[in-house]
Amino acid sequence: MLGDEYIELRKTVEAFAREVVAPVIGDYYERCEFPYDIVRKMGAMGLFGLPVPEEYGGMGGDYFALCLALEELARVDSSVAITLEAAVSLGAMPILRFGTAEQKEHWLPKLASGEMLGAFGLTEPGGGTDVPGGMRTTAVLDGGEWVIDGTKAFITNSGTDITGVVGVAAITGRNGAKPEISTILVPSGTPGFTVSKKYSKVGWSASDTRELSFSGCRVPEENLLGERGRGYAQFLQTLDEGRVAIAALSVGLAQGCVDESVRYVGERTAFGNAIGRYQAIQFKIADMEARVHTARLAYYHAAERMLAGLPFKKEAAIAKLVSSNAAMDNARDATQIFGGYGFMNEFPVGRFYRDAKILEIGEGTSEVQRMLIARELGLGA
């Protein structure tokens, strides 16, 4: 049972998504244009600061509040939802969790207001899931500065006009054959830091995703985020939390598929009846609703354990796996229900279908989630 504050937040974001985002996001999506006006309004609502303490300009809420907002946004559009998720979960939260007092005071007020977006540079072109083994980006101390060299791939929010900082995971030394990984904050516009043009993507077309290059990029030694050599542990925690958020986003997309399908089958007629009167359609939508309900319970449970300070790695992996599968399955079924219209970009389900697949890949593939679940059960090495 959700408390009153959660219920009110959910209603507020639902109305915003329906009244502000839905009427215009299709045009942004087709133009592959970042929705600065929508992001500005989200900032004014305080969405980027939901889990950030009030002392740093945030709303003083918690991570579950962020998840509820993501679900409601994704019911309408995932590009807007992933922009919020990445900005908070990957941009602001590592600074809140691991930053110094000075770093928090400098970065968090701007990130919490939505005036600035943050990003997290982990994935590399030849690495993918193979972290730390596939990491090639290095950072070497020289005269009180970190000198960073390397390339990052598929980084969300990294090249917008309001992007202000990227947390870069890099090898800062070695303990024998084992790489020492640390995270370093790199402000946008730093010499030696190059942002590529936007990727041409299958989905999430109104979000910003780019490759980043670092060549002799120098930042002060105090830009180290957290302890030197603790970067790997830090981003594992970041990804565990992020998986709960992506699960919420996935549930939102899956719910949006149900919403659109229920509306459509009441309007579309065939053989003299609304198609919603035919049992084949009813059963398909019933299965879609069951997937959403199950997936929502999974991410609620993971978030509950996280907020209680209990171990939640397995629960986060389960939530991410179940929810992303639900999103993909519901997008496919909704497109089938819409028939030829589901293949048209003017209908939201076509956008949902294009957006769903990445949910089984980003922030840990479905295979990685199964691996994590098996490990938590004591299986494998």
User: Residue 133: what pLDDT?
Assistant: 74
pTM (global) more than 0.75:
yes
Average pLDDT over residues 339-362: 95
pLDDT over threshold 90, residue 11: yes
Tens-place pLDDT, residues 235-290: 999 999 999 999 999 999 999 999 999 999 999 999 999 999 999 999 999 999 99
Average pLDDT over residues 322-331: 98
Give CA separation, 157 vs 44, 110, 154, in Å.
18, 15, 10
Average pLDDT over residues 79-104: 98
User: Residue 345: what pLDDT?
Assistant: 86
CA distance 202 to 206: 11
For residue 1, name the pLDDT band (cuts at 50, 70, 90). Answer: confident
Contact, 265 vs 310, CB < 8 A? no
Average pLDDT over residues 185-202: 97
For residue 366, name the pLDDT band (cuts at 50, 70, 90). Answer: very high
Q: Residue 370 corresponds to which amino acid?
A: R
CA distance 201 to 210: 10
Tens-place pLDDT, residues 172-181: 999 887 899 9
User: Residue 15: what pLDDT?
Assistant: 98
Count CB atoms within 10 A of the CB of residue 228.
Answer: 17
Average pLDDT over residues 155-176: 95
pLDDT over threshold 80, residue 127: no
**Residues involved in catalysis:** 363
Average pLDDT over residues 64-87: 98
pLDDT over threshold 90, residue 132: no
User: Residue 381: what pLDDT?
Assistant: 58
| Domains of the chain, first to last | 4-117 (1.10.540.10), 119-228 (2.40.110.10), 232-376 (1.20.140.10)
- For the four alpha carbons of 291, 69, 165 and 201, in that order, the dihedral sign comes to positive
3-state SS class at 198: coil
Mean pLDDT, the chain, rounded, equals 96
For residue 130, name the pLDDT band (cuts at 50, 70, 90). Answer: confident
Lowest-pLDDT range, 39-43, 182-186, 277-281, 377-381? 377-381
pLDDT over threshold 90, residue 158: yes
Q: What single string gives the DSSP state of each residue in 319-347?
A: HHHHHHHHHHHHHHHHHHHHGGGGGSTTS
